[in-house]
Amino acid sequence: MRVSPCSGPVIATDDRSDPIVGSGRDFGAIFIYRRFARGATQPEILQGEGDVSIKLFPPKDDSQRKAAHAEMREAFGRSFEKFARKRLAR
């Protein structure tokens, strides 16, 4: 199988939201990144997570639903950015 040298699939295997006493919740996702180096026959597998704070999710009522879901989408992106900074920097 031939893979492009710039190919690097990312898989999010798990996400979770845990309460933090007095300061909202902690959100994190586990990511697996398969890096294919030029000329390598097997990919390098990098796994890790990125924990970020959230305040609105889960929503307390319907009036907060839209804002809470927007916060969760943004938190997922920040979680991946944190993972990328820690694990993908060369």
Q: What does the pLDDT read at residue 39?
A: 79
Average pLDDT score over residue span 43-68: 89
Average pLDDT score over residue span 39-50: 85
84: exposed, middle or buried (Cβ count in 10 Å: 0-12, 13-18, 19+): middle
Residue 68 backbone dihedrals phi, psi, to 5 degrees: -65, -40
pTM: predicted TM-score of the whole model, two decimal places: 0.72
Which of 8, 76, 62, 15 is closest to 38 using CA atoms? Answer: 8
pLDDT digits (tens, 9 = 90+) for 62-89: 999 999 999 989 999 999 999 989 888 7
